[in-house]
């Protein structure tokens, strides 16, 4: 019974029962009762804030505040003031004393999203808070003691940033006490039907629609699509489809062409080739028998394209996995697993 409970989603808004998500749930439940700092890694849109809230709500700090700070949304000076507060007259627009987010999180949890965006200078002050639980407001000399748990999140591999000299190694190890990696949606396609059902019910109610089901063609295309924007992208397209729906069934035609496989997947790293072009390249190389990307060949074609891409990027990076992971825009642990799967360990 304990194993079943530990594998279950840790908050009502969490959907998914595939093995990789069960691992996330187990780690979340193990981390929550402790006071240890947690580092959440994963691509944008995977649900890192949901896991952070779960850690907080399952901890003995649940009755205290949960304070979220998006470190990537503010300049260095504004972020310092936001985190630590300031005194009146500390700078031109400081017309009164202000309490910072660390003070506001006293007795609870502070969630530092996009921790990779923090400047090298400000990282020193963060390290002190983590180690000594104290700081000074901007423009003040009085030391403030604070008791709050820190959860940080990043969509970048911090070790790569350490190697580049933009992230402090001592801060990395202080943050990385309990690492939890949130898998991208493309690695948990079996969870997509449950996620679709959840968002359909949610947005049908919000938009006064009576959507009773999703047709098989729509579900199939959603399970085949790579979802570069992860759960957030799925949520967006479900809401859009419901707004434009005219009946009680969510149909395939309500989704954008690239989700249906009729146009190239639109990402910032697009190669400019659609699936048909990639299939034709693979046929030319003799890697598949024909250019039909439907049915049973779909997964094989995706795997072959992925293997070829990883091989080329590894060559460009002289076999350095941290550099290759950065160029590919994926977590280094994910890349390492794919290198093992595709037997690319000898690429230089």
Residues of the chain with pLDDT under 50: 1-5, 268-276, 285, 287, 291, 293-296
Same topology between domain 2-183 and domain 271-348: no
Find residue 134's DSSP bridge partners: 145
The two structure tokens encoding residue 245: 């729906």
What is the CA 24 to chain-centroid distance, rounded? 13
152 close to 116: Cβ distance less than 8 angstroms: no
Reported as a single tens digit per residue, the pLDDT across 192-203 is 999 999 999 999
Q: Which of 55, 86, 51, 83 is nearest to 69 (CA)?
A: 83
pLDDT score at 266: 58
How do the domains of the chain map onto residue ranges?
2-183, 186-268, 271-348
Residue in the block written with tokens 């395939």: 252
pTM above threshold 0.85: no
By CB atoms closer than 10 A (0-12, 13-18, 19+), residue 286 is exposed
pLDDT score at 1: 38
The two structure tokens encoding residue 182: 């949130």
59-65: long-range contacts, CB 8 A cutoff, minimum separation 24: 59/32, 59/33, 59/34, 59/109, 59/149, 60/33, 61/107, 61/108, 61/109, 61/149, 64/105, 64/106, 64/107, 64/108, 64/109, 64/148, 65/104, 65/105, 65/106, 65/107, 65/108, 65/109
302-308: long-range contacts, CB 8 A cutoff, minimum separation 24: 302/226, 303/342, 305/278, 306/338, 306/342, 307/342, 307/344
317-322: long-range contacts, CB 8 A cutoff, minimum separation 24: 318/348, 319/347, 319/348, 322/157, 322/159, 322/160, 322/163
By CB atoms closer than 10 A (0-12, 13-18, 19+), residue 55 is buried
Rounded Cα distance, 292 and 168, in Å: 49
Reported as a single tens digit per residue, the pLDDT across 24-74 is 999 999 999 999 999 999 999 999 999 999 999 999 999 999 999 999 988
Domain 2-183 fold = Rossmann fold (3.40.50)
321 close to 332: Cβ distance less than 8 angstroms: yes
pLDDT score at 263: 75
The two structure tokens encoding residue 60: 């003995």
- CATH number at 186-268: 1.10.8.60
Residue in the block written with tokens 């954008």: 256
- CATH number at 271-348: 1.10.10.60
67 close to 109: Cβ distance less than 8 angstroms: yes
71 close to 115: Cβ distance less than 8 angstroms: yes
């Amino acid at each position: 019974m304990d194993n079943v409970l530990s594998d279950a989603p840790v908050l009502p808004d969490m959907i998914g029962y595939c093995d990789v998500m069960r691992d996330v749930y187990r780690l979340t439940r193990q981390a929550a009762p402790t006071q240890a700092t947690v580092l959440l890694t994963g691509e944008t849109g995977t649900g890192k804030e949901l896991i952070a809230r779960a850690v907080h709500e399952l901890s003995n700090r649940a009755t205290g505040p949960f304070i979220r700070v998006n470190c990537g949304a503010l300049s260095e000076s504004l972020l310092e003031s936001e985190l630590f507060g300031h005194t009146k007259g500390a700078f031109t627009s400081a017309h009164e004393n202000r309490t910072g987010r660390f003070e506001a999180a006293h007795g609870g949890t502070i969630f530092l999203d996009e921790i990779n965006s923090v400047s090298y200078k400000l990282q020193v002050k963060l390290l002190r808070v983590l180690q000594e639980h104290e700081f000074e407001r901007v423009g003040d000399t009085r030391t403030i003691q604070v008791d709050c748990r820190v959860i940080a999140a990043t969509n970048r591999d911090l070790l790569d940033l350490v190697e580049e000299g933009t992230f402090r190694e001592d801060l990395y190890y202080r943050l990385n006490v309990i690492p939890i990696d949130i898998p991208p949606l493309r690695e948990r396609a079996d969870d997509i039907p449950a996620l679709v059902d959840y968002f359909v019910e949610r947005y049908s109610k919000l938009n006064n629609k009576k959507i009773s089901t999703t047709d098989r063609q729509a579900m199939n295309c959603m399970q085949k699509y790579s979802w570069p924007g992860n759960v957030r992208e799925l949520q967006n397209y479900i809401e859009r489809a419901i707004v434009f729906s005219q009946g009680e069934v969510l149909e395939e035609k309500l989704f954008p062409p690239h989700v249906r496989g009729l146009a190239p997947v639109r990402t910032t790293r697009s190669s400019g080739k659609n699936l048909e072009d990639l299939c034709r390249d693979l046929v030319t190389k003799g890697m598949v028998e024909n250019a039909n990307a439907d049915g049973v060949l779909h997964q094989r074609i995706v795997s072959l394209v992925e293997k070829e891409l990883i091989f080329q990027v590894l060559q460009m990076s002289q076999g350095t996995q941290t550099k290759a992971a950065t160029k590919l825009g994926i977590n280094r642990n994910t890349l390492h697993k794919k290198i093992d799967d595709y037997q690319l360990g000898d690429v230089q």
